[in-house]
Amino acid sequence: MGTDPRPTLFLSDLHLSPDRPGAVAAFHAFASGPARDAAAVYVLGDLFDWWVGDDQMGNRLAAAVVASLAGIAKVGVPIFVGCGNRDFLLGERFARATGATLLPDFTVVDLHGVRTLLCHGDELCTDDTEYQAYRARMRAPETQARLLALPYFVRLGIAWWLRRRSGNENALKPEAIMDVAGSAVVAALRDHRARRLIHGHTHRPARHELDVDGTRCERFVLADWHDRGHYLAVGADGVHAHEVYG
């Protein structure tokens, strides 16, 4: 990947749903355009605003997104998809249908000689201990098995309730507690021996510089999607942010 002249593209927090027609249109434009000229495409979580199981692929919007991802894979561009806090139930049926590889919480890639750590970002919000306890509970295999055993319409109801509860609770939390913790960022870079971190989740796009044990490192936060799309292109000439419209 490091010698491929084409850039590697990163995106996250699309939150695709019928409520975001601009984001949906931008995603299909991305999939039929820039994505097909990439060395690889990484979706770092929350591709969908909710995902209640791979039977959701019967939904018209989800089926169209799956088809667009499969179109990228068919032209030979590797696709990697991470699970976010909204779509952590993405499974192997989805992976087979799209041609994508599902990512673990943390992934390390070499991008033109820079060891780069990838994640959704919620793993790093360790100051929010209440959320971390919820995350651990929902990611447990036994919890997911129980959820997936429920009828589809019940899972949709649970997803609606969880999104509403999350919005109400977040409105009462201090801003800082919902951002990544600096200590968690340093620990992740140190543990994975990386010089660069790319993540989403916080909806606070930026580039940060930091020192990890005397080594200058950088952290890129991906933008969330609304009326247009955003992605980061990492190539031999550096890191560049781009927008895409439907």
Tens of pLDDT, residue by residue, the chain (246 residues):
447 889 999 999 999 999 999 999 999 999 999 999 999 999 999 999 999 999 999 999 999 999 999 999 999 999 999 999 999 999 999 999 999 999 999 999 999 999 999 999 999 999 999 999 999 999 999 999 999 999 999 999 998 888 777 654 554 445 554 699 999 999 999 999 999 999 999 999 999 999 999 999 999 999 999 999 999 999 999 999 999 998
Q: Residue 3 falls within a domain, yes or no?
A: no
**Of the candidates 110, 120, 101, 92, which has an alpha carbon nearest to the alpha carbon of residue 12?**
120
Residues 93 and 124: beta-carbon distance below 8 Å = no
The CA distances from residue 104 to 14, 63, 100, 139, in Å, are 19, 24, 13, 12
Residue 1 lies in a domain: no
Q: Is residue 199 part of a domain?
A: yes
Evaluate whether 122 touches 135 at the Cβ level (below 8 Å): yes
Tell whether 234 is covered by a domain. Answer: yes
User: Which neighbouring-strand residues pair with 210?
Assistant: 217
| 205 closest CA partner among 193, 222, 219, 190 | 222
Q: Is residue 47 part of a domain?
A: yes
Residue 77: inside a domain: yes
CATH number of residue 25's parent domain: 3.60.21.10
Coil, strand or helix at 192: coil
**Residue-range definition of the domain harbouring residue 236:** 8-244
Domain count, the chain: 1
- CA 27, chain centre distance (Å): 14
Do residues 35 and 80 lie in contact, with contact meaning Cβ atoms separated by under 8 Å?
Answer: no
